[in-house]
Structure 1
Amino acid sequence: MKIVLLMLTALQLWAGDVYPTLFPQMGDPLFSYAAKTGALKSDAKLGGSVSAYVRQAQSVREDGLKVQQTGTAQERNAYLGELRSLQKTHDRLMVDVKREVLSAQKAGDTKRVMRIVSTEPAVIRDDFRLRDTLVAFYKQKRLEGKSAYMDALVRDSKRDIRYAKDSADMPENMSSGLSEERYPSKAQKPSKGKKASKAKKASKGKKKPKRKKASKDKKTSKGR
């Protein structure tokens, strides 16, 4: 049985696109980015940090594939710690990627911009300002259709602009009033206008007290 598990692990290590099944939401994006960075290994500014990240990602992936087969709870926790360390390395790399792609964009270096974009870095997708800057550059250089990743970001940018416009054009009573009517908060207090209308209704419903006739008192005073 152990021999079979070792053979499976060896096959998984050989197949570069197989990732550990432990903590996939955290691990898969990190390993996937490492597999896409080939175009940046020769980049003068990013090559060193990219290569270091790829080596770390490969080491962590190998450990994860081993641990998922026969790992103890302690070994799994150790693998989770490795993933967190890889995440920190990835985040630092994204700072460098953002700086360099903006530098290339300002210099008008289309080839370098497209090399960086080809790795599909998460920072471009997550940073809306950076995304829109690169989308404008991409359209200005008439590069649409050259990168599936950038084409997807162009569509995302258009959708966000359309959504913002629709929200701005929506009448105030539709954008906020309806939601308040459907889901009123418990602590919501009635407005002054509502208080006044309620007070008027209450005053109309109450009968005014009748005044006592003073005729008898007048007669007694005259008799005195």
Structure 2
Amino acid sequence: MIWNRLAQPVRSHARHGLYGALRPSHRAVVYTSKRFNSNPQNTGQYTPDPTDQDDPDDGKGKGQGRGGDSDPNFKSTILKMLETAATTAASIAILGAAGYSYHQYYKYLILDKMDNAFNPGDPALEVAGVVSGKHKYRHEEHWVVRNEQPKIDDIVAGRRSGHYYLMIGEKGTGKTSMLLEAMRKINGNSCAMFEAHADLEIFRIRLGKALDYEFHEE
């Protein structure tokens, strides 16, 4: 039956003289199905490429990623904000504590040095050579005592307080000598002495040395 169906068109064309035109159409097309696999030597079994397989979690991950990018997690954002705030607060607290400690230590050091300047023993006595016990005299008084010496002694010893005293007089009348003698009697305790000067820069330097204070100018 199949042969009759195939031969019937050929017969009809042959009757019309078109047999030669049908010869080129008798071509056999052979189609061979080939299976693709990862191993070209093994043609009998199809082995899919693992990289070509779709991960079932890809769809979920993509969906979650898009949702996470557009709408971040509120809880994680709050935690990050709190962590940043805590770090900043801790840094500021550490800097503040360090600065406060430095200023307190600096004040303590300066006050301790200035307090040391008023301890017994003064450089002015050593320079003048009237340190107690350095020189031996036959008499208790090695010079002519002026009438103002007891008052100077009371002022320097602190027995007269609450007032300012100004000693004036010509050069060589014994003003500095009376002050040094009063300081010698108390060994320079709670006393600091320096010579004033008309130049403010020299006055500042002498005052700093007398008080054991260092000026740090910018």
Q: TM-score range by the shorter chain?
A: under 0.3
**TM-score, scaled relative to structure 2:** 0.19
Which structure has the larger Rg over C-alpha atoms? 2
**TM-score, scaled relative to structure 1:** 0.19
